[in-house]
């Protein structure tokens, strides 16, 4: 398995398919003006397959499709089908906002996708509209139900908690796990980039200790659940008599960089070494210059070797060249 210079085993590639999203949450994507990658710069399905094949041959096991919003890719089903049959694949998942899942969940499952993480910040349509700016609770809910019906299970919901937007909504969201075998995971806002979106993420941080206390106060004690995944970024718990799991992902207040097992591929064909740093290595140039699998593996292994120790949010440092909608978490 590939190891970085700090001895961490890196076996998880997150592939951003597109740097665009149809919802534009306040802590993720600006409403106007972001310069999107020119279509010619975005990796094709075949190029993505080549990179994924090289990664799996090098010992990577897990692939996740992200965005922006990956379901906006017209060739999403083709990409999933190409990746699902690669040798060495252990897991193939996707992070999505869910609104296109009513049409896509069944074909995605048939093409070989195993699970989805769906982003949902509130069960109150009006408060949700303040956060997402586009899209509705009804659409996302239909997406969740479609994913469950298609067997993309267990359903994991990602809740980003932002002060003044949804810190009270965490209780009804956690309560979903009482009746349903879902994982509801609460994520601290991470500031990416230098613009208004990053300022908002910085200023509206709700530490997960607070979110956890708010949930336990109303719904009862949270019993720890051991993680089944090797490098699970979530600390998992179960509410009394609950069917599902409540998780806390605390990159700001409790960094898990020491256990990081990730590499990222941007939609425009660069390995992005750490979510919260700018370091990147270009692979698109090599692909388009006719470089074969060995050349791609070479760049990937260099990217793994050069992974930074971790983020420096505590020193006020983050990315300057990329925002969340370009990296997909
Ligand atoms: N901080 C933390 N998580 C975020 N997400 C989007 N923006 C942020 C942010 N600023 C989450 C969403 C999405 C996942 C890819 O990242 O929940 O599902
Ligand atoms: Fe889109 Fe997800 Fe970002 Fe919201 S958090 S703008 S749904 S990519």
Query: What is the chain's mean pLDDT, rounded?
Result: 95
- Which residues lie with the beta carbon below 6 Å from any ligand 2 atom? 21, 23-25, 28-29, 67-69, 97, 119, 325
How confident is the model at residue 32, as a pLDDT? 82
* DSSP strands (E only) in 17-96: 62-66, 91-96
Of 21-25, 97-101, 230-234, 258-262, where does mean pLDDT reach its minimum? 230-234
Of 69, 249, 322, the one to substitute when testing ligand 2's pocket (max ligand atoms within 8 A of C-beta) is 69
Q: Domain 12-326 belongs to what architecture?
A: Alpha-Beta Barrel (3.20)
Q: Identify the band that residue 230 occupies on the pLDDT scale cut at 50, 70 and 90.
A: confident
**For ligand 2, atom 6: residue with the closest CA:** 24
Among 76-90, 223-237, 245-259, whose mean pLDDT is lowest? 223-237
Ligand closest to the CA atom of residue 197? 1
Judge whether 208 and 253 are in contact, CB under 8 Å. Answer: yes
The Cα 149–Cα 153 span in angstroms is 9
Domain range list for the chain: 12-326
pLDDT band at 185 (very low <50, low <70, confident <90, very high): very high
Task: Assign 227 a pLDDT band (cuts: 50, 70, 90).
Answer: confident
237-293 pLDDT, tens per residue? 999 999 999 999 999 999 989 999 999 999 999 999 999 999 999 999 999 999 888
pLDDT at position 297: 96
How buried is residue 37: exposed, middle or buried, by Cβ count under 10 Å (0-12/13-18/19+)? middle
pLDDT band (50, 70, 90) for residue 229 = confident
| Nearest ligand, measured from the Cα of 24 | 2
How large is the average pLDDT for residues 93-107? 98
As a whole-number percent, the residues of the chain with pLDDT over 90 amount to 90
Res 312: pLDDT: 87
Q: Averaged over 307-323, what is the pLDDT?
A: 89
pLDDT band, residue 295 (cuts 50/70/90): very high
**Distance between CA 35 and CA 263 in Å, rounded?**
24
Cα–Cα separations (whole angstroms), residue 166 to 22, 124, 329: 20, 9, 19
Q: What pLDDT is stored for residue 86 in this prediction?
A: 98
Q: Please give the average per-residue pLDDT across 144-164, as a whole number.
A: 98
């Amino acid at each position: 398995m590939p190891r970085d210079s700090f001895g961490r085993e890196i076996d998880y590639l997150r592939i951003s398919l597109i740097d665009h999203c149809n919802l534009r949450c306040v802590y993720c994507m600006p409403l106007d003006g972001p310069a999107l990658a020119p279509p010619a710069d975005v990796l094709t399905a075949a190029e993505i397959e080549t990179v994924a094949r090289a990664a799996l041959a090098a010992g990577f096991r897990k692939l996740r499709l992200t965005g922006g919003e990956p379901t906006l890719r017209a060739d999403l089903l083709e990409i999933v089908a190409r990746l699902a049959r690669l040798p060495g694949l252990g897991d193939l998942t996707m992070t999505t906002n869910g609104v296109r899942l009513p049409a896509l969940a069944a074909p995605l499952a048939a093409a070989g996708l195993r699970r989805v993480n769906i982003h949902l910040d509130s069960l109150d349509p009006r408060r949700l509209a303040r956060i997402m700016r586009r899209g509705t609770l009804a659409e996302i809910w239909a997406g969740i139900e479609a994913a469950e019906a298609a067997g993309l299970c267990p359903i994991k919901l990602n809740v980003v908690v932002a002060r003044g937007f949804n810190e009270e909504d965490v209780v009804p969201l956690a309560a979903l796990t009482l009746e349903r075998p879902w994982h509801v995971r609460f994520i601290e806002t991470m500031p990416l980039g230098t613009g208004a979106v990053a300022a908002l993420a910085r200023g509206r941080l709700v530490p997960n200790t607070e979110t956890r206390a708010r949930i336990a106060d109303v719904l009862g004690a949270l019993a720890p659940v051991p993680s089944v995944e090797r490098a699970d970024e979530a600390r998992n718990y179960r509410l009394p008599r609950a069917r599902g799991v409540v998780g806390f992902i605390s990159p700001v207040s409790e960094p898990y960089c020491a256990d990081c097992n990730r590499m990222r591929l941007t939609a425009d064909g660069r390995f992005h070494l750490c979510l919260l740093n700018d370091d990147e290595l270009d692979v698109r140039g090599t692909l388009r210059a006719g470089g074969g699998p060995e050349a791609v593996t070479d760049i990937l292994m260099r990217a793994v070797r050069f992974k930074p120790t971790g983020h420096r949010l505590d020193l006020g440092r983050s990315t300057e060249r990329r925002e969340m909608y370009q990296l997909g978490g």
